[in-house]
Chain A
Amino acid sequence: MTIWRPRRQGPFSAAMVRFSGVGLRYPAPGGDGAVREALRGIGFTLPEGSFHWLLGPSGAGKTSLLRLMQLALRPTEGEVELFGQRVGRLRRAALPRLRRRIGVVHQDFRLLAHLSAFDNVALPLRIAGRAEAALRADVAEILRWVGLADRAEALPAGLSGGEQQRVAIARAVIVRPALLVADEPTGNLDAEQAARVIALLREMHRLGSTVVVASHAMKLVEAYPAPALRLDAGRLVAHG
């Protein structure tokens, strides 16, 4: 990969992500005013350039925690700090700029169905205002990196699950995110494709991104040992 150089990595000192006493409550389904507590008292720090697994059973709160990390939700209590900035103190208009530094990969890919693989990958650059002539080479290279150079014009419906997930990863990393979060990225893939996706995420980590991957595929986690955050019933039960 030539469009990126590895980020300079020193000892893990600067905090990329910091959660302090974070809680998250949703209105419970039914609309009777009841609330469901998805997260409670979460506190941890992820150093810049680290790789973490986010583990826990279904319903433990992994997705909620990742959504807080990617600024798709705001906590109902406590404080989230990203890139050294307290998110709760930022104006809403300041958040898009932060989101452009975060790459997100979902289990269900979330590609735009009417756009080709190339245009899906180019989307973050276009949103960031990159000139059309300047983005073509970068998109072509990132598609080569994920092994899809020859599928650039294919629509998502014409791609396999593994190929769609690689397009999603390409879209997430095209802006070289400082923070990359992946929510069960291998959930819909076979073992071979899953290993390939995890290898790409590890490569991003090697290039300097801070990476958090939620998974309950323990075989995969054991194959790629790394520190882990472990959630259970909305509480952080282990970190390290």
Chain B
Amino acid sequence: MADRLLPLLVAAMALLAALALAGAEGAAAMAARWQQGAASAVTLQLPAGTPPARVEAALGALRNLPEVAEARLLDRARLAALLNPWLGEAAPEVPLPVVIEIALHGLPAAPETLAARLEAAAPGAAVEAHGVWVARLVALARSLQAVGFATLVLVAALAAAVVAVAVRAGIAARRDAIAVLHELGATDGDIAHRFAARAGWLTGLGALLGTAAALPVLALLADLAAPLLGGDSGGWRGGGVARLRAGLAALPWPALVALPALGAALGWTSAQVTVRLWLRRLP
């Protein structure tokens, strides 16, 4: 009975683990991408032709604010490069505003209040605080990643407990046979190996089934998330098959391939520990 139920239970848990794993990987990818935007949490623009002395005064005032980790002037060449896609080679000829990039110590609780304080420190400046919101998204993505890994640990612990219960049921059903093996001089390792080999095989099989079952769902989610990661959803171009292909290509394959092997290792280890602990009651 346990032999039939164990792979199914482990398959269900492997499916959850695969979802959690892919979720964590996806959140990490999104966080990494958005992190670039969050690096300059705030930009501040002064009108073109602002005298250098006023710019220096503004920089000094900004650097004195407790929230500001760094305030630096965006040099003209980099600004021209950024505008190149819109203005072409004419960018250097056009009067460009003075742009100050500001990195903050941490995310402000009230971005609007911060914007007002920055404007006060640099009168006449226009504050662009979109980076604060991006940084919040990064924090959210990081939290999702942590939740994904925590879920993974929880599922692994649950799987180990399920294996332990199944092995204990197996021990109870084979108590007499174990006593005979013990009496004939089998070591704890010999007896534990018999259970662990079987448990490892069954949990590995269950993990393989669960991971395989998760693939279509993961592919769909990966395809939906593609635009958030700077890619393109295959669905907009080629329908279901293209969408599935694009989604499958985006999956964290090394981690997913490792999942059945990790499942088997978890089952083997859990069975070894359970049997060896039980055998301690024998002399």
Instruction: Write the residues of chain A forming the contact surface with B, with a CB cutoff of 8 angstroms.
Output: 70-74, 92-93, 95-100, 104, 110, 112, 123-124, 127-128, 171
Contacts and interface: CB of A to CB of B under 8 A. Distances in A.
Main secondary structure of the interface of B (DSSP, over half): helix
A73 B281 CA distance: 11
A110 B187 contact: no
B190 A127 contact: yes
B185 A93 contact: no
Contacts of B283: 71-74, 92, 95
A38 to B, nearest CB: 15
Interface in B169-213: 176-177, 179-188, 190
B254 to A, nearest CB: 38
Contacts of A171: 184
A93 B183 contact: no
B183 A127 contact: no
A115 to B, nearest CB: 9
Contacts of B184: 99-100, 123-124, 127, 171
The 9 closest A-B CB pairs, nearest first, are: A100-B185, A99-B185, A96-B187, A96-B185, A127-B186, A124-B184, A74-B283, A127-B184, A110-B180
A70 B183 contact: yes
Contact of B183 (A92, A97, A99, A128): A99
B131 to A, nearest CB: 63
A5 B2 CA distance: 47
Given A74-B283, A100-B184, 12 more contacts: A72-B183, A92-B283, A99-B182, A99-B184, A100-B185, A110-B176, A112-B177, A123-B181, A124-B184, A127-B185, A127-B190, A128-B185
B180 A124 contact: no
A128 B180 CA distance: 14
Nearest to B177: A112
28 contacts: A70-B183, A72-B182, A72-B183, A72-B283, A74-B283, A92-B283, A93-B187, A93-B188, A95-B283, A96-B185, A96-B186, A97-B185, A99-B182, A99-B183, A99-B184, A99-B185, A100-B184, A100-B185, A110-B176, A110-B179, A112-B177, A112-B180, A123-B180, A123-B181, A123-B184, A124-B184, A128-B185, A171-B184
Nearest to A70: B183
Looking at A74, A100, A127, the one whose CB has the most chain B CB atoms below 10 A away is: A127
Nearest to A68: B283
A70 B185 CA distance: 10
Nearest to B176: A110
Contacts of A70: 183
A124 B185 contact: yes
Interface string B133-156: 000000000000000000000000
Interface string B222-250: 00000000000000000000000000000
A123 B186 CA distance: 10
Instruction: Tell which of B179, B180, B183, B184 has the most Cβ of chain A within 10 Å.
Output: B184
A225 to B, nearest CB: 30
A74 B273 CA distance: 24
Nearest to B180: A110
B282 to A, nearest CB: 8
A211 to B, nearest CB: 17
Nearest to B181: A127
Contacts of B185: 96-100, 124, 127-128
A92 B276 CA distance: 13
Contacts of A92: 283
Contacts of B176: 110
A216 B243 CA distance: 81
Contacts of B177: 112
Contacts of A98: 185
A100 B186 CA distance: 8
A92 B183 CA distance: 13
A208 B186 CA distance: 24
Contacts of A95: 283
Contacts of A72: 182-183, 283
Nearest to A95: B283
A67 B180 CA distance: 13
B194 to A, nearest CB: 11
A127 B176 CA distance: 17
A98 B283 CA distance: 12
A123 B180 CA distance: 10
